[in-house]
Amino acid sequence: MDGDVRTDLAIVGGGFTGLSTALLAAEIGIDCRVPEAKKIGYGGSGQNVGLVNAGLWLPPQDVRGLLGDEAGSRLVRELGEAPSYVMSLIERHQIRCEATRTCTIHAAHAPAGYNDLARRAEEWQRLGAPADLLTRAQAAEKTGSEAVYGGLLDPRAGTINPMGYVRGLARAALSAGAVISTGVTALKLSREGDLWIVDTDRGRVTARWVVLGTNAYTDDLWPGLKRTFTIIHYFQAATKPLGDRGENILTERQGLCDTGRVMFSLRSDDSGRLIIGSMGRVIGGDTGLSRRWAMRNIRRLFPQLGEISFENFWHGRIAMTPDHLPRIHRLADNLYTPIGYNGRGITPGTIFGRAMAEFLSGGTEEDLPLPVSDMKVDSGAPLKSRFYDAAFTANQIAKSF
């Protein structure tokens, strides 16, 4: 992007939300532009674990409790169907992202975690969704680890390489006619008549509508927005391919996360790497604390593996809302942001993006998957972010030795 341009829809941010909005908008015939400050997948979308979940982190009954029966049930239903939509996009656009549809496992970190999973399973089954409780022995067979105390198997869910998926969405949106500009930061939003002016560091975009897809990477573009959620970091480590040594581990390629208060996650990729992660930042990289943490936890889960080498460490930001529900905020006339995915953004980001495009092409706010809300600044958010940062660092230190 160089110079001033005019478009129907300006979408800030090149992650799942922005690019899913762009893909559907372009397919519908809405002219759209996506300025992305860094590169495609720079935010949570590229740093992700890759669990394509069929629902939020909150169990369905809690979602209904917070949103009310009608809106809650609708969101639960739409998110339950969302993995199929993600997989259909992958298929339709031939996105190379190592997609698997062999379920995910919510693993019990302790006997108490199993009780929580039983409650979730009962509710999903009541809603007619497939959700199978695994005994400890069944979970051990699927994961290859005796350290898992049972699990909840969700046949609707699967895994992806998230960077592959987000790049594939960008390619599909480009082919459909969206214009995506990386290395372009939106600096200011202002109104001129009934149009929005998005001033960037590479020129001005004039648009009828604006969608912000900036989630946990939100900056000061819209005053106060970055203080509507708490930032939590999540880090991951990828081993070198395990070869034959990995043959009894995650044999059906399920990805998993656990029920622990400080959650951990595990996935394997097409090349036989294990990707393990938890809350907090990378500390010290491949020679430091995070390496020790990863080594110790892989040994705890798979003592049979012996010495392991790591290839890569990284972390990203999660936007945690006070009630753990995502939001679609109307910030002003014709200016919206789906935001606050609480660490579950592959399916919500994709379907909220689709819904934004459908809405802008003549739908109503009532058709959106979530009731539209005004943003609410949480003045304590920066302090809470610092608190969690310190707590997860302390936890990483404690779990590394």
Ligand X SMILES: Cc1cc2nc3c(=O)[nH]c(=O)nc-3n(C[C@H](O)[C@H](O)[C@H](O)COP(=O)(O)OP(=O)(O)OC[C@H]3O[C@@H](n4cnc5c(N)ncnc54)[C@H](O)[C@@H]3O)c2cc1C
Q: Which residues bind ligand X (CB under 6 A)?
A: 12-18, 35-38, 42-45, 47-51, 53, 185-186, 213-217, 219, 221, 234, 316-318, 341, 343-347, 349
Least gap, CB of 228 to ligand X (angstroms): 14
Least gap, CB of 192 to ligand X (angstroms): 19
Closer residue to ligand X in complex, CB, 141/391: 391
CB 200, CB 219: distance < 8 Å: no
CB 116, CB 58: distance < 8 Å: no
Closer residue to ligand X in complex, CB, 38/330: 38
Least gap, CB of 102 to ligand X (angstroms): 15
Least gap, CB of 51 to ligand X (angstroms): 4
Least gap, CB of 205 to ligand X (angstroms): 11
Residue of closest CB approach to ligand X: 345
Residue 67 is which amino acid? L
CA–CA distances in Å: residue 235 to residues 47, 197, 312, 313: 8, 36, 11, 7
Closer residue to ligand X in complex, CB, 38/240: 38
Give the containing element (helix H, strand E) for 31. Answer: none
Least gap, CB of 304 to ligand X (angstroms): 26
Closer residue to ligand X in complex, CB, 44/246: 44
Closer residue to ligand X in complex, CB, 276/298: 276
Closer residue to ligand X in complex, CB, 262/362: 262
Alpha-carbon torsion (93, 314, 354, 222), positive or negative: negative
CA–CA distances in Å: residue 58 to residues 75, 135, 255, 343: 12, 22, 18, 11
Name which of 137, 145, 150, 138 is nearest 108 in CA terms. Answer: 150
- The count of other CB atoms within 10 Å of the CB of residue 89 is 19
CB 218, CB 225: distance < 8 Å: yes
